[in-house]
Amino acid sequence: MTLVAEHINKRFGSTVALRDVSISLVPGEVHALVGENGAGKSTLLKILAGAERPDDGTMRLAHADYAPLDTRAAERRGIALVHQELTINPSLTVAENVFIDRLSRFARFGFLQRKALNRAAQDVLDSFGADILVSASLDQLDLGQWKCIEIARALSLDPQILFLDEATAFLGRKEVGALLKAIQALKARGLSVAFVSHHLSEVTEVADRLTILKDGGNAGHSSVAETTPADIHARMVGRDISGHVFPPKAHKPPVEVILSVRSVSSTAKLDDVSLDVRGGEIVGMAGLKGSGGEALLETAMGVLAPDRGTLTLGGEAYAPKYPGAAWRAGVAYLPGDRTGEGLISDFSVLDNLVMAQPPRRFAFFDAHVARRGAADLTATLKIKAASPAVACRTLSGGNLQKVVLAKCLYVRPRLLLLNNPTRGVDIGARIEIYRTIRAMADEGVAVLLVSDDLPELIGLSDRLAVMRGGRIEHEFADTDTPDEKSIVRFMT
């Protein structure tokens, strides 16, 4: 079943999201969409899947006119979309989330047949190696496993065309490998897959063709076999960026210990962890999902209370009872789930930027100071928004990530905690975020970085530690230059 879209245009107010874009998706092929954040990739997929309506242009599906009014209409025609942002309902079970809009299929005489529901959901999860049991509680699963449940939801529709919008952004190395194998299997079954990823290694592994979008327009179509990652990056951002991804590391040695963790343990998450993070340095934490890096960040942020051990901040005892206390103490946190934990999508960019530390004039909110700060930060991080007054839900995923980082910058922290700061972010925006993080460290901020991206950890960190099973398995010396192979050896 071939899907063809021609001369698609879409505007949101004064913002041009798509400009004369054409694309064709054919059976048995993986078609990658690449481009910077805000280039129009998600908008195009939403239009093809019925979640948005184009202003102009035509679409044909299996040589017949195609103009779905909503996603249900697209699903009935064999098209399924996995959205970029998480859409899991934590109050439901795993199986209920897989069949969230089709639970009536498993009802009999008004009662939900849970055995049949669970069996069907487990079959879909097992079909692509998700390694998730439907009996698991959602609060025990990580964000990558939540994303796998969303993928299972799409596959449960038995689609002929599948759209994956940054589906690997929340996944660990093992989960990414399983999903890429599943995509190859779907292709072998004759499905058409449109795949959006900022990791070109994933694109080159599974995609047959690619379309490059820039500023809402087509910047080129080509066979993946006939192009190179360097060429793709250059066409995405309009310049050659090879060799300029990571900023130079610190030249002066850090001195003052900002965060000190001593013998900290937390049931099933941390086991006798000790670590120092000094002002002016970036300490990277590698490890598989659930190895303890995220739990360490949550402990420092007051989300997770340790059972044993102590923390000090700037040489003083530090035991925040909740995140608000950590923010007031000068600790800023960029969480792994930007829309679920990092910001409020319906609030404006300005409101989200100043949320952690609203400026006051006497007892009143100082709108003038807030607007000035928001303008400075949107310019510094090159946040693409019509104005700081627009709602965050109108922004692309990468620009949402920049908003969360800008919120951290606004409070002028002495300790910055980062959980996958470039998740779902294009290469151009990554460079800007890396430079911002390095600039903060150069100004004396202590940075603790947890990331699933090993090149990111290697390129950005001044020191690097590896966690496994809640413990620090190995800490590389300042003078070491670890590669991916040496890090993985301690992770597994």
Whether 246 maps to a domain, the answer reads no
* Co-location of 185 and 71 in the same domain: yes
* Co-location of 211 and 323 in the same domain: no
3-state secondary structure of 308: strand
Give the position of tokens 């709108």.
Answer: 367
* Total tally of structural domains belonging to the chain: 2
Whether 249 maps to a domain, the answer reads no
Whether 314 maps to a domain, the answer reads yes
Confidence of residue 29 (pLDDT cuts 50, 70, 90): very high
Give CB contacts under 8 A, 24+ apart, made by 324-330.
326/300, 326/301, 326/302, 327/356, 327/357, 327/411, 330/411, 330/412, 330/413, 330/414, 330/415
**Quick one: DSSP state of residue 23?**
E
In terms of average pLDDT, the best of 29-43, 172-186, 370-384, 438-452 is: 438-452
> Reading across the β-sheet that carries 446-450, which strands appear in turn?
331-334, 415-419, 446-450, 282-286, 463-468, 471-475
Residue 411 contacts residue 330 (beta carbons within 8 Å): yes
**Quick one: DSSP state of residue 287?**
-
3-state secondary structure of 236: helix
Distances 413 to 330, 443, 464 between C-alpha atoms, Å: 5, 11, 22
Chain-centroid distance of CA 184 in Å reads 23
Give the position of tokens 């100082």.
Answer: 366
* Co-location of 136 and 41 in the same domain: yes
Report the pLDDT averaged over residues 469-477: 92
Confidence (pLDDT) at 239: 59
* Co-location of 30 and 126 in the same domain: yes
* Co-location of 300 and 215 in the same domain: no
The torsion region of residue 157 among left (phi > 0), alpha (psi -120 to 50) and beta comes to alpha
CA distance 318 to 441: 21
The pLDDT mean for the chain works out to 90
CA distance 477 to 461: 12
Last residue of a domain, one of 237, 272, 301: 237
Strand partners, 8: 21
Whether 243 maps to a domain, the answer reads no
Confidence (pLDDT) at 408: 94
* Co-location of 215 and 277 in the same domain: no
Instruction: Flag whether pLDDT at 471 surpasses 70.
Output: yes
The alpha helices in 189-250, defined as continuous H runs, are 200-206, 229-237
Instruction: Flag whether pLDDT at 241 surpasses 60.
Output: no
Last residue of a domain, one of 177, 203, 237: 237
* CB neighbour class for 391 (10 Å; exposed up to 12, middle 13-18, buried from 19): middle
Range of the domain at 141: 3-237
* Co-location of 261 and 225 in the same domain: no
* Co-location of 371 and 476 in the same domain: yes
* CB neighbour class for 475 (10 Å; exposed up to 12, middle 13-18, buried from 19): middle
pLDDT digits (tens, 9 = 90+) for 399-431: 899 999 999 999 999 999 999 999 878 777 888
Q: Identify the CATH number of the domain in which residue 119 sits.
A: 3.40.50.300
Whether 155 maps to a domain, the answer reads yes
* Co-location of 324 and 192 in the same domain: no
- Which residues are within 8 A (CB) of 372 and not within 5 positions of it... i.e. 6 or more apart? none
pLDDT digits (tens, 9 = 90+) for 91-111: 999 999 999 989 998 988 889
For residue 20 the two structure tokens come to: 């004369």
Q: Which of 4, 3, 38 lies closest to 402, judged by CA?
A: 38
* Co-location of 62 and 99 in the same domain: yes
CA distance 382 to 293: 29
CA distance 411 to 75: 45
* Co-location of 273 and 135 in the same domain: no
Lowest mean pLDDT among 130-139, 347-356, 442-451, 475-484: 475-484
- Name the residue type at position 276: D
* Co-location of 225 and 303 in the same domain: no
Whether 265 maps to a domain, the answer reads yes
pLDDT digits (tens, 9 = 90+) for 327-383: 999 999 999 888 888 899 899 999 999 988 888 888 888 889 889 988 888 888 888
pTM for the structure as a whole: 0.73
Whether 140 maps to a domain, the answer reads yes
Burial call 103-135: b when 16+ CB within 10 Å, e when fewer: eeebeeeeeeeeeebbebbbebbeebbbebebe
Q: Are strands 56-61 and 3-12 parallel, antiparallel or unpaired?
A: antiparallel
Whether 252 maps to a domain, the answer reads no
Confidence of residue 243 (pLDDT cuts 50, 70, 90): low
